[in-house]
Amino acid sequence: MSLIRDLADQIVAAHRNNDLCIPIPVFSLNTPPPQIDNEAAVDHYELAGALAAIEMGFIESDAKTLGKAWSRMTLQDGGFNPFKWPNRPEHFDLLPWTRNMNPNAFKECPKRLGLYGVMPDADWVKRMVDAEIPTVQLRFKSEDKSKIRKQIKESVAAVKDSKTLLFINDYWQEAIDAGAYGVHLGQEDMEVADLDEIRAAGLRLGLSTHGYAELTYADRFCPSYIAMGAVFPTNLKKMPTAPQGLGRLYQYAKLMSHYPLVAIGGIDQDSIHAVAKSGVGSVAVVRAITQAKDPKAAVKHLQELMQA
């Protein structure tokens, strides 16, 4: 165990000062630390990588994923180097990059979806089309199926004959029925959705992720794009994990660079440039548009800042 401890200490020391570390929240200091299964681990590097990740504030599932990646990286790169960080698809055993060879891949979307407005109703979708935003999502939350269908129908009509691409959040069946461009699903949504039906209908699929474990899981489905967040704190949604920060976003973007990527969560005009520099082709925002004095001008300004 002391060898594993020593390797883990070297990894933590090498990465202590970069933005990959997230302080462990005070409320969880009294709970027992997550257990890494020594028996199931392949080698010392897997255990050390996972232990280091826990100390750097990664959640248990991400620490386990990182442990396996540390093991593969150490074997593939011919030795242990604590200053490295796993960031290549082969470290995480991701699918081969050639999506057109994968019969289960979802339909392709542009690699760079650009500014992506996540909007609460069809009127906002119309405003975004008028502002010529490249990508928009209808994120209308309701229990009322007839209202949902109406909102989706109006949104699909709004983007017709425009260059704006429309994703529908959650309501995949209604999105298929209305002929939308694509659907966006979270990790829980995808467990209950009929992914085969979405693929067969030719809709694009975007998936939410919140860390390494969900990224590698999402990769198994070869979605059209992968969203990563929350980058910064947001009050619009209760997030399952702490804000990831720019350091982790940059690593995720490097690892998944063969996918169209979307960054989301708490991004505004002050941070959008740094977020775009991570290499993601798209930045999704809600409040930076809906709470702007002039939403149309905000769309233009945010796009300029992304490209600057």
Residues near ligand TZP, by CB under 6 A: 118, 229-230, 234, 236-237, 264-267, 285-288
Give φ, ψ of 252 to 5 degrees. Answer: -60, -45
Tell me how far apart the alpha carbons of residues 266 and 236 are, in angstroms, rounded to a whole number: 9
Binder of ligand LCLJCK34 out of 189, 201, 257, 258 (CB under 6 A): 189
Size of the site for Mg ion (CB under 5 A): 3
Shortest separation between residue 299's beta carbon and ligand TZP, angstroms: 13
Give the contact letters, 237-266, x = binds to ligand LCLJCK34 (CB under 6 A), - = no. Answer: x------------------------x-x--
- Kindly report the number of other CB atoms within 10 A of residue 29's CB atom: 8
Q: Does 204 bind ligand LCLJCK34 (CB under 6 A)?
A: no
Shortest separation between residue 135's beta carbon and ligand LCLJCK34, angstroms: 9
| Contact yes or no for 57/24 (Cβ under 8 A) | yes
Shortest separation between residue 148's beta carbon and ligand LCLJCK34, angstroms: 13
Q: Which C-beta is closer to ligand TZP: that of 49 or that of 186? A: 186
Binder of ligand LCLJCK34 out of 284, 289, 298, 305 (CB under 6 A): 284
Angle CA 263–174–210, to nearest 5: 25
Return the residue matching tokens 């967040």: 229
Tell me how far apart the alpha carbons of residues 198 and 101 are, in angstroms, rounded to a whole number: 19
Q: Which C-beta is closer to ligand TZP: that of 68 or that of 127? A: 127
CB-side neighbour CA atoms (13 Å) of 156:
18
Q: E-assigned strands of the chain?
A: 114-119, 135-138, 165-169, 182-185, 204-209, 225-229, 261-264, 282-285
Of 106, 61, 83, 88, nearest to 211 by C-alpha is: 61
Shortest separation between residue 185's beta carbon and ligand LCLJCK34, angstroms: 6
Shortest separation between residue 118's beta carbon and ligand LCLJCK34, angstroms: 5
Q: Using CB under 6 A as the criterion, which residues of the chain lie in contact with ligand LCLJCK34 when the complex forms?
A: 116, 118, 137, 139, 169-170, 184-186, 189, 206, 208, 227, 237, 262, 264, 284
